[in-house]
Structures are given as C-alpha cells and as structure tokens.
Structure 1
Amino acid sequence: MARSLDGLVLAPVADQAPGQVGTRTRFTYHEKDGEIWADYAGGDVVRGRLVGTRAGDRLDFRYVQLKTDGTTASGHCVSLVVELPDGRVRLEETWEWESRSGSGTSVVEQVDDTADRAR
C-alpha cells in the first residue's frame, strides 16, 4: 500500500471541461483508519469537499462542490493510489456526476504546496 495521504496537497495534471476542477484546483487530503476526506478549491470551484474510504490502494468517495457561478454539483469517484518514482503520490480517478449527466477519468498528483503558494 502506498503511503498515507494525510496532509498531502494534490492538483489535476490537466484541465477538465470548463466549469470543473482544473490545474488551478488544489485538494488537501486527510486520512485516518481507512477514512479519507479532502477540501478543495481553485479555478471554477469556490469550495468542494470529498469524503469516503480507503481499502489498500483504492479510494471510494463522494464529492460535492460550489462553483463560481453559484451552482452546486455532486458525484462519485473511485481512485487508484500510485506512488511515482520520485516518491510523490498520483491518484488515477474514474468519476461520474450524480447531480447531472457525465463521467470521465482524471489524474491528480502531489504538489509541493510551499512552492505552489509562492506562485
């Protein structure tokens, strides 16, 4: 099993469709005893939350977010935790909206939040 996600900051490696999470979105993860949760914001997302479970290298969670246009959206995601050769963490995600139609895949990777804040 890859290391704990607790305290890690991750960001998408590519932009999704307009109005969704993108490269400016930052996810701050927490983990304890098989539970995972995160806060996220940035880009078109004012505030988002996710909550779920971790079994080995598999995450299963629900997410909800408030966008800059005042709309909300929610969905479900299953992610595979992968440790990169440089020691950072990558999540390979398969997601689907539950509040509207649509699904897809995405990749988020650990960022150095200290350097990221300086930008």
Structure 2
Amino acid sequence: MARSLDGLVLSPVADQAPGQVGTRTRFTYHEQKGVIWADYAGGDVVRGHLVGTRTGDRLDFRYIQLKQDGTTSSGHCVSTVVHLADGRVRLEECWEWESQEGSGTSVVEELMT
C-alpha cells in the first residue's frame, strides 16, 4: 500500500523563478480517502493552498497562492509520488499556471526529521 502523505512536510529541492515557490517554502500535506490538500508558505509565498485527489502514486490538484507583492496566482499540477531509499517521499511535479502564462516541472521532498 502507498504511504500516506497525511502530516508530511515537504520542500522544493531547488528554487523556481523569482516570486514563486522556492527552497524556503514549506508544504504541509493532508490526505484522507483519496483526497489531498496542503497549506504552504515561505520565501515569496505569504500563503498558499492546494486541493485535489490521489489515485495510487498520482496526485492531481489545483493551487492558489498569495505572494509578498500582494498578487495572487493559481494553477494546475500533476505529481508522481516517489518513495526514496531512505524512506522519505518525493513528489515529481508537472505544473501549469492558469492565471498567467507559464508551465514547468519541479521536485519537492519530505524534510528530514
């Protein structure tokens, strides 16, 4: 059975473009019966939320965030859950903005405790 994301704290392994999610951003995930959601903040992001579904090792969610400059942005992301050899979780993400131009990939990993 796939490991639950509930209660896990993840962070990007690299910074994205300026004004976006970066290595100082922390995502706190929750999961219940195939539903996922997370709150996130840090770096240029004052507050962000995501909500979606999990089927096996595939996440499909939408996100919205408020940045330090007072602007908001939103988008869609599909992620693959990868189980690392050290027991941590990695999410390999393909995302696309819906409120502006742009798309890309990113990786977030569970923080060591």
Give secondary structure in 2 for the equivalent of 1:100.
Answer: coil
Residue identity (%):
84
- The TM-score, its normalising length taken from structure 1, stands at 0.93
Q: How does 1:38-57 map to 2 (within 5 A)?
A: 38-57=38-57
- Determine which structure has the larger helix proportion and give its number: 1
| Runs of 5+ consecutive residues of structure 2 not aligned to the other structure | none
Q: Whole-Å Cα distance in 2 between the matches of residues 110 and 34 of structure 1? A: 19
- Counterpart check, 1:92 vs 2:92: yes
What CA distance in whole angstroms lies between the structure 2 residues aligned with 1:86 and 1:73? 34
**RMSD of aligned Cα (Å):** 0.8
Q: Match of 1:18?
A: 18
2:66 is the counterpart of 1:104: no
Could you tell me how far apart the structure 2 residues matched to 1:63 and 1:95 are? 10
CA contact (8 A) 1:30 1:37 kept: yes
CA–CA separation in structure 2 for the residues paired with 1:10 and 1:27: 5
Equivalences, count: 113
